[in-house]
Amino acid sequence: MRVLVHDYSGHPFQVELSRELAARGHAVTHSYCAAYASGKGHLQAEPGEKIRFAAIGEGRSIAKTDFKRRLLQEVGLGVELVQQVRRLRPDVVLCSNVPIPTLVVLAFVLLVTRKPWVLWHQDVQAVAITSFAGKKLGRSMALAGRLIGLGEKWCSRRAAAIVVITDAFVDVHRRWGTADKVTVIPNWAPLDEIVPVPRDNAWAREQGVDQVATLLYSGTLGLKHNPELLPRLAKAVIDAGTPVRLVVVNEGPAAPVVRDEAARLGVPLTLLPFQPYERLSEVLGSGDVLVVLLEKEAGAFSVPSKTLSYLCAGRPIVGLMPAENLAASLIEQTGGCVLRPEDTSIPAAAAWVTELLADPVRAGSIGESSRALAEKEFELTGCANEFEAILAASTTHHRS
């Protein structure tokens, strides 16, 4: 098969799937949006690899806080993606993390040209936007959320097949009339690329965090997060008598929020842009405790991929997130801490972190459990088999 995999975010495990499909003999092009700031995977072909990489949005930056401008940009990115399809002529397209305006443009053209595509549904974007509209956004964004919902439903009905990441999505697709073509495949993280490393590693020394206890957050900070919780947690740990430095690896509008709140509270902060993917193991290995954030409204429709990377890195995790989230159950299985994403949870979270930092044996045991769980859950072969079968069936049904 000629396969175009477009993961807008460029995240690591989608890249790993593309590499596996290419290794199985398929002609795979992995596409991503260069304009979208996030932690990217390994987006270059190694010698001997037959996979190809292609980007849209090169030389641009996404206007995340200007809705009208962002809408126009995302429509334009859809046009770029259509141009990729016309140039590459794939048998099937697999789409992940694609903004709905971009996806609508692509889905319309694929409908007209009768080319099959598969939706890898990572977020129910309509639910995300409308859930936050009353709390963080204005009425215009609430209206936008409804329009996004219509577009998301329309795209889902056009897809030849749909892959969702948790059972929670199935009810949404049942309401949309698309549940009959849904397959649940949980997300994973690349076990061979994100590995446990010593706490005293080269990256930690370069950043000056090798000799101080650290709370570390690495990944996106957006609509589904409350970034102020990070410095507040660090402050509570410090007030409990344990010196700690907050390390945040992030780009975008949340970064200055973290910086300003840390300054207000007097919390030592190392704030860095996204780091090269080949150093992610060292980055995560530099955290004594790794932090996950997820607002309660996002409990059912989002699984923070950073949690999966954290597990691979073999470090203790504290999650300020809804208990019903799939990632929360993974953290709890390792002996990590999960509490509600609220200021009222900060004292209990800080107490857990303080106790853990004072008990290296327990911290090491939780870290080992994290890696062991990742090795148990993130087996690539089975996931790749399922995706390969879904893509092949999509092309076969289309021909028939």
Residues 138-189: pLDDT tens digits?
556 666 667 888 999 999 999 999 999 988 899 999 999 999 999 999 999 9
What contacts 369, CB < 8 A, 6 or more positions away? Answer: 333, 334, 335
pLDDT higher than threshold 70 for residue 384: yes
Burial of 351 (C-beta count, 10 Å sphere; 0-12/13-18/19+)? middle
pLDDT digit string, tens, across residues 88-134: 999 999 999 999 999 999 999 999 999 999 999 998 876 655 555 44
Among 223, 101, 94, 78, smallest CA distance to 150 is for 101
For CA atoms 141, 146, 152, 154, give the dihedral sign: negative
HEC profile of 172-201: HHHHHCCHHHEEECCCCCCCCCCCCCCCCC
Class in CATH terms, 202-377:
alpha beta
Phi, psi of 371 (to 5 degrees): -65, -40
pLDDT digit string, tens, across residues 214-223: 999 998 887 5
In single-letter form, the type of residue at position 86 comes to: R
CB 255 within 8 A of CB 225: no
**Structure token pair of residue 193:** 């690329």
pLDDT band at 400 (very low <50, low <70, confident <90, very high): low
User: Using CA atoms, how far apart are residues 288 and 212, in angstroms rounded to an integer?
Assistant: 9
Phi, psi of 369 (to 5 degrees): -65, -35
**Structure token pair of residue 294:** 């997820």
CATH superfamily to which 2-188+379-399 belongs: Glycogen Phosphorylase B; (3.40.50.2000)
DSSP string, 63-75: -TT-HHHHHHHHH
Angle (CA) 110 123 321, round 5°: 170
* Predicted pLDDT of residue 133: 45
Phi, psi of 147 (to 5 degrees): -65, -40
Considering the chain, tell me which residue range(s) the CATH 3.40.50.2000 domain(s) occupy: 2-188+379-399, 202-377
* Predicted pLDDT of residue 38: 87
* Predicted pLDDT of residue 299: 57
For CA atoms 42, 84, 29, 167, give the dihedral sign: positive
pLDDT digit string, tens, across residues 289-313: 999 998 876 656 677 789 999 999 9
Q: What percent of the chain has pLDDT over 90?
A: 79
* Predicted pLDDT of residue 342: 92
> If you average pLDDT over residues 347-365, what whole number do you get?
98
